[in-house]
A and B are shown apart, each in its own frame.
Chain A
Amino acid sequence: MFDILMILSLVILTCAVLLNIFRVVKGPSSADRVQALDSIGINLIAGIAIFSVYMNTHAFFELILLIGILSFIGTIAFARFIERGVVIERKR
């Protein structure tokens, strides 16, 4: 019963990621694509948490924080590129 619940929630998260991929492909502006990629990162974090509960291990808990950090930095870099045109400025 518990395994069925975990697998069902993983399937639902997979559907959410697929819908986000639809937004990445279709999205009219690049801001839509960046937001969809950020949302895919959050869905991956939830999927890893459910998978580590399902596998009954705590070996993947560092990966959750790591994907959070990398998704945050990537989204900020994309946002700066869309808004300013450069990612790292020489002098402000």
Chain B
Amino acid sequence: MKPNDVILNTVTKLAAVIIFTFSIDLFWAGHHFPGGGFIGGLTTAAGIVLLYLSFDIERIEKNLPIDYKKMAAIGVLIAIFTGLAGMIYGDNFLEQTFGYFNIPIFGETELATAVLFDVGVALAVIGTAVTIITSISEDEL
């Protein structure tokens, strides 16, 4: 008899949205409140792992075609190039800057280049965590 987990699939469809929204909130709150790239990426990886738990690997790979090893590599490259961008303008390596801009909806907002470094950290964390979990938990080689 084929196993049937309707309750788990339905709860996952609702909870994955909440987990991804919470991870984006943690990522953007990292400059002034607790949060940041590392924990935001780890929460996103937890949401992806919940999708892998609820559905099978083939369906997730068909609907979410992301190579997580390349994602980790791209994250490290972004983090390095944001450090090199400080050297282009004559400062030290990993020199960060920020400025105040007028954005139509938000009004005057502080935009910092540390967000780009955080994007690299988050992509590296997501790629590493999901790669480890999916590679050690496959049931057949």
Once A69-B46, A89-B57 are accepted as A-B contacts, the answer to whether A76 and B22 lie under 8 Å apart by CB is no
Q: Which of A24-32, A36-44, A79-87 contacts B (4 or more CB under 8 A)?
A: A79-87
The reply to whether A90 and B56 contact each other, CB–CB distance below 8 Å, is yes
The reply to whether B43 and A89 contact each other, CB–CB distance below 8 Å, is no
The prevalent SS among residues of A at the interface is helix
A78 to chain B, nearest CB (A): 11
Chain A interface extent, by class: 20 to 34
Contacts of B52 in A (CB 8 A): 88
Contacts of B50 in A (CB 8 A): 72-73, 76
Bound Cα distance from A70 to B52, whole angstroms: 15
The reply to whether A89 and B56 contact each other, CB–CB distance below 8 Å, is yes
Interface of A toward B, CB cutoff 8 Å = 59-60, 62-63, 65-66, 69-70, 72-73, 76-77, 80, 84, 86-92
B37 to chain A, nearest CB (A): 14
The reply to whether B34 and A88 contact each other, CB–CB distance below 8 Å, is no
Bound Cα distance from A9 to B29, whole angstroms: 31
B38 to chain A, nearest CB (A): 12
A57 to chain B, nearest CB (A): 10
Check if B108 is an interface residue, CB within 8 A of chain A.
Answer: no
Chain B interface extent, by class: 20 to 34
The reply to whether B139 and A73 contact each other, CB–CB distance below 8 Å, is no
Interface 1/0 per residue, B17-37 and A, CB below 8 Å: 001001000100100011100
Q: What residue of chain A has the Cβ atom nearest to residue B134's Cβ? A: A88
Check if B110 is an interface residue, CB within 8 A of chain A.
Answer: no
The reply to whether A69 and B137 contact each other, CB–CB distance below 8 Å, is no
Interface 1/0 per residue, B36-63 and A, CB below 8 Å: 0001000100100110111111110000
The list of the 8 closest CB pairs from A to B, nearest first, reads A86-B139, A92-B56, A89-B56, A88-B137, A87-B137, A88-B52, A91-B58, A73-B50
The reply to whether A69 and B56 contact each other, CB–CB distance below 8 Å, is no
The reply to whether A80 and B140 contact each other, CB–CB distance below 8 Å, is no
